[in-house]
Structure 1
């Protein structure tokens, strides 16, 4: 019995160590109260916070999870006034760049299926630094549907292109 245990102990230890890292577990979601479908590579935590967005109070609901040293997040807020959409999209993009002290490596119009077309709906690939000086990359998309604005973000020291593509391609407005 002892010999059998000694032979299997290293295997058990290796399995225990591999179990410590978060596994990729894609979850398709349709957040309550919004007309959006999305997928996250891990179980997201949900947060809500009051903030000032383009000079006006707003409540932002966030879905956030971490896997492979990357943070995946989707936030949304209903602004109730279509005239606030443009300034809010601009503010979300500016905030994303400031958060990582980032410079745009690539910028293009956002292309989320079903979104409301808007000239300030954008997608950026950013290179920047965290407050502690670590280099980070970020992919940020800001878009709207009706009076609701959205921000989809992935941040990490390096970004896994396959995971990033899967996250971004799963975003769709479904009225």
Structure 2
């Protein structure tokens, strides 16, 4: 004898409702960054902001667009600025790296050359790793700086994971998900 309609579908409806109520910690999605064509893989719905950073030397501030979010105990962000030429890009990138290192006072910092498909060779991509040095020290940081020439100008980027994500694979997924056009 066949089961009534409600009896047959009740377990599936309950399962669908339970799955719908679950929210994964890392809900990866592709997000376009600025209008330059970079696509980042972020683990959550991003927020957007613009801040002025003193990259231009002296009292000159540069507008930097930031797209990022927090998930699983860490902040994932991509910052973007546009330099007029390669010389300005090199100077700004040097200042950007120095400003980041100064915020990590007390951390063991390791900087290495990095690679990213279609990134400019100058300024060259650089990776920074700063693990947490015990309780009370700066939060762990993973940073990648890179640039790309676009329409006669230089697009500069800083991709950052700040904190210790609940998934050890999350920083790798984030950095491997950066795609330049």
Fold match, TM over 0.5? yes
User: Which structure 1 residue ranges, 5 or more long, are not aligned?
Assistant: 1-14
Following TM superposition, where does structure 1 have runs of at least 4 consecutive aligned residues deviating by more than 6 angstroms? none
> Any idea what the Cα deviations from partners look like across 1:86-118, whole Å, max 9, x if unmatched?
1211122122222232331x3321211111112
CA RMSD of aligned residues (A): 2.4
Match of 1:74 among 72, 78, 87: 78
Contact 1:22/1:67, CA 8 A, preserved across alignment: no
Indicate the structure with greater strand content.
1
- Alignment match, 2:87: 83
- Alignment match, 1:26: 28
- Alignment match, 1:48: 50
Return 42-51 or 27-36, whichever deviates more. Answer: 27-36
- Alignment match, 1:143: 146
Offset, 1:158: 5.8
CA shift in 2, pair 1:23/1:157, >3 Å: closer
Contact 1:90/1:120, CA 8 A, preserved across alignment: no
TM-score by length of 2: 0.75
Structure of greater Rg:
2
Contact 2:72/2:165, CA 8 A, preserved across alignment: no
TM-score by length of 1: 0.77
Q: Distance in 2 between matches of 1:58 and 1:148?
A: 13
Figure out how many residues of one structure are paired with residues of the other and give that number: 154
